[in-house]
A and B are shown apart, each in its own frame.
Chain A
């Protein structure tokens, strides 16, 4: 079984580029050039240099002793929360801004849910002196106020998406419309492993630095490159894609994905795509998505804005249907509890998105000598208000 993208842009039956003709020239240009550009020595040099000196990579692989004792397994945390801007998102935006420059683009657009991708995009645009416009759902603007302020401080313009559920899906629609309206000077930095081919593959490759580092870091610590399990939360799936990438073809490594169940899978307020979705077209790719029997895309729900998305990247759809990955879902309550537990056992406040990955221990029992690597995809500063309200901390 092949888990990487094929030459036509598919992962099994998922993927492709289902885009209106207006987007074809831009997406086709990217498709033709992205691998060539990424393989240029000068590109690699600049990319790795920025990851090291600007982002602060490699991010630590941290052995979480107290968490390990509590849950009876050897648990390592891949500390993407320690990256500049506080999440894994910046790995991709650094790569894509370099890509945009080589494509001669002078204007950047992005969508954002939790605001982490928006901040990461605004950051690299400031770094390169390129104009930046971030689309963000009106509801997310309200629940992620600190990130909105950060984007503005970085010089980006934040435009509210006021259609539909006013969250990530709608912000993505607005960004795509902007790209249709500005086809010549603009590059669209998609933040997740979604969108028309080559986006899922390009984003995954930029994020694959996560598993590239896990391999040598784990070798140093455990004398082996491959853990028994890699575990990540999934919305669109970019941190998961990066965490899994170099383990996809290592059958002894178990791959675990945790989706957001919201208020429960059967509550009608959920974002657990693998459980609730079926194959369809969203944002330019064929993938699993939540929809009505009539093919209308459903409004998802999760307490975490970054997982509040009705689809999942095409690579993950393939990992799910092929059985390569185990999919779980965690409710708001389970994720919040897991976030509090990590805070108090390890002194690390995770993003609520990442909290979902840590909720795996409420669903699956591991063996004491199992070596686990959990992607701690982002830090929880942006979620403090949500934590405070939820646990009545104030």
Chain B
């Protein structure tokens, strides 16, 4: 079987991907949230591995990470929660987190666990391209994991080409210069950026993240991109409505 992310990207539709923080709102929410997201038509999931110092995240994801850690979430517990996930879930699953917890677990051990569980890729925003290529690319490959890189409106064309070349799935296109959850809606600046990227004809499809929160922003983002990722808005929904009302949220997006 091929990598689930690659197969999903071949489907003729715009993809909705959801990020949530593992262990939030409660320690054992993880599996149920994943199952409910799939049942409600979500195409792909980023499972957030909580970190004490999430540099690229705004207050919403910071708080969910802090709460998840207070709830007792650890890398070990997350892997244990996910050990049977492939018995009930078929959509692509990605683990997203910061590099230090992965480094402490051991990069090879971490990747091996991911393969055993059926994780398809990793997003580690603070693992730089050059370090990944010189130290970890072979390990990721060995365990069938895609590494997803980010680009932003400030990323130069030259660097985007480099990242496109190094990528083997999709490119995570950060919509604007911001931490997560801080922008409200997309303006001319984002449209120009989306068009610039479209015109580059990259070999990897792009999935837009940061600032997607409702049907309107989802439509805007996926006009040129293959899909969009929602994080903070979904976590806010969990905070306000609990983990039993996931369809209410997903139905407002598509």
Residues of A with Cβ closer than 8 Å to B? Answer: 16-22, 24-25, 163-164, 169, 173, 176-177, 180-184, 280-284, 291, 293-297
Contact = CB atoms under 8 A, between A and B. Distances in A.
Nearest to B153: A183
A15 B169 CA distance: 30
A283 B149 CA distance: 19
A291 B159 contact: no
B74 A294 contact: yes
Contacts of A183: 152, 154, 177
B56 interface: yes
A297 B51 CA distance: 8
Interface string B39-61: 00000000000011101111000
B69 A281 contact: no
Given A18-B99, A284-B126, A177 B177 contact: no
Interface stretch (B27-35, B100-108, B200-208, B227-235): B100-108
A169, A176, A281: most-surrounded residue (chain B CB, <10 A): A281
Contacts, number: 101
B18 interface: no
Contacts of A21: 125, 149-152, 155, 174
Contact of A281 (B76, B103, B149, B155): B103
Given A19-B126, A20-B125, A295 B101 contact: yes
Contacts of B154: 22, 24-25, 183-184
B52 A20 contact: no
Contacts of B155: 21, 24-25
Contact of B56 (A22, A164, A280, A281): A22
Contacts of B105: 294-295
Given A22-B154, A294-B76, A295-B101, 10 more contacts: A18-B126, A20-B126, A21-B150, A21-B155, A24-B154, A24-B155, A164-B53, A177-B58, A184-B177, A281-B100
A283 B177 CA distance: 19
16 contacts: A20-B125, A22-B154, A24-B154, A25-B154, A25-B156, A163-B62, A164-B52, A180-B56, A182-B177, A184-B154, A281-B98, A281-B126, A282-B53, A291-B100, A295-B103, A295-B104
A182 B156 CA distance: 17
Contacts of A180: 55-56, 177-179
B103 A163 contact: no
Contacts of B76: 294
Given A18-B126, A18-B127, A19-B128, A294 B150 contact: no
B81 to A, nearest CB: 15
Interface string B110-125: 0000000000000001
Interface residues of B, number: 39
A22 B75 CA distance: 26
Interface of B: 51-53, 55-58, 62, 66, 69, 74-76, 98-105, 125-128, 131, 149-152, 154-156, 159, 174, 177-179, 182
A19 B104 CA distance: 17
Nearest to A278: B104
B103 to A, nearest CB: 6
A108 B241 CA distance: 40
Contacts of B101: 294-296
Contacts of B127: 18
Contacts of A182: 177
B182 A181 contact: yes
**Residue picked from A177, A182, A297, most chain B C-beta under 10 Å:** A177
Contact of B100 (A169, A177, A282): A282
Nearest to B57: A177
A183 B83 CA distance: 40
A164 B75 CA distance: 20
B75 A181 contact: no
Contacts of B51: 295-296
Given A180-B177, A181-B178, A20 B149 contact: no
A252 B174 CA distance: 52
List of 5 A-B pairs having minimum Cβ-Cβ separation, nearest first:
A295-B104, A295-B101, A20-B125, A21-B150, A296-B52
Contacts of A281: 98-100, 103, 126
B172 to A, nearest CB: 9
Contacts of A181: 177-179, 182
A40 B177 CA distance: 32
